[in-house]
């Protein structure tokens, strides 16, 4: 899909163009692309979880209940075309440099694999109520199937009421296992931790 969009962009000049690449428009277009892709992915992912689409396209991906790194790419062609179609249409939605879109695609591939790894890698960055998703977010999606549809941020899941009820507490617990968050832990649980000295 990425290559198809880039081909139309270069071959026929279709889509918006950035005439001069600057640090500012690079950062802005990368961030904007992440927000737009997260929206695109969220709504297409919800569509794939409707009865007919799930049965005929997305079920294959969910046969893996406990995700592993390689299960990120365990999907059917139709499933992939739905969720990855953004890369073909991004040039038509807003001005973005092909190199910035490629950087976002690589970021998406890497975080998709890590998101299926079962290990909380982002630490404090994805600690609830951070808008960044955690590995727990996608683990819960595979476990329960009817929640946590987004790919980069929890914004749409929170707005649409599709965030798993246990998300924040479970994510905090799992992240706590990877870094020392005793101060943040007490803020999240609403309890004060007692410190014992020997």
What are the residue boundaries of the structural domains of the chain, listed by start? 2-6+28-181
Could you report the per-residue pLDDT of 47-96, keeping only the tens digit for each? 999 999 999 998 888 887 777 777 777 778 888 888 889 998 998 899 98
Greater confidence (193 vs 109) lies with: 109
> Does 182 score more than 90 pLDDT?
no
Given this model, what pLDDT does residue 192 score? 47
Given this model, what pLDDT does residue 197 score? 44
Given this model, what pLDDT does residue 2 score? 66
Q: Is residue 71 a contact partner of residue 116, using CB atoms and an 8 Å limit?
A: yes
Q: Which DSSP symbol is given to 132?
A: B
Could you report the per-residue pLDDT of 126-176, keeping only the tens digit for each? 888 889 999 999 999 999 999 999 999 999 999 999 999 999 999 999 988
* Helix spans in the chain (H): 2-12, 23-48, 51-53, 59-62, 77-84, 86-93, 98-115, 135-144, 155-160, 167-176, 182-189
Q: Is residue 147 a contact partner of residue 170, using CB atoms and an 8 Å limit?
A: no
Q: Is residue 137 a contact partner of residue 154, using CB atoms and an 8 Å limit?
A: yes
Predicted confidence band of residue 193 (pLDDT cuts 50, 70, 90): very low
Q: Is residue 143 a contact partner of residue 65, using CB atoms and an 8 Å limit?
A: yes
Greater confidence (136 vs 122) lies with: 136
> Does 190 score more than 60 pLDDT?
no
Given this model, what pLDDT does residue 195 score? 46
Predicted confidence band of residue 188 (pLDDT cuts 50, 70, 90): low
* Predicted TM-score (pTM) of this structure: 0.83
> Does 104 score more than 50 pLDDT?
yes
């Amino acid at each position: 899909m990425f290559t198809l969009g880039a081909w139309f962009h270069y071959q026929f000049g279709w889509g918006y163009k950035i005439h001069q690449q600057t640090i500012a428009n690079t950062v802005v277009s990368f961030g904007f692309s992440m927000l737009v892709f997260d929206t695109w992915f969220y709504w297409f992912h919800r569509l794939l979880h409707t009865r007919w689409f799930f049965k005929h396209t997305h079920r294959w991906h969910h046969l893996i209940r406990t995700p592993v790194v390689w299960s990120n790419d365990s999907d059917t062609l139709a499933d992939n075309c739905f969720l990855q179609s953004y890369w073909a249409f991004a040039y038509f939605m807003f001005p973005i440099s092909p190199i910035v879109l490629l950087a976002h695609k690589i970021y998406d591939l890497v975080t998709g694999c890590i998101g299926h790894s079962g290990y909380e890698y982002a630490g404090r960055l994805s600690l609830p109520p951070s808008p960044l998703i955690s590995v727990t977010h996608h683990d819960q999606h595979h476990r329960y199937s009817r929640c946590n549809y987004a790919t980069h941020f929890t914004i749409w899941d929170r707005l649409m009421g599709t965030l798993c009820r246990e998300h924040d507490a479970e994510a905090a617990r799992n992240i706590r296992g990877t870094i020392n968050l005793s101060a943040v832990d007490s803020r999240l649980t609403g309890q004060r931790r007692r410190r014992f000295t020997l």
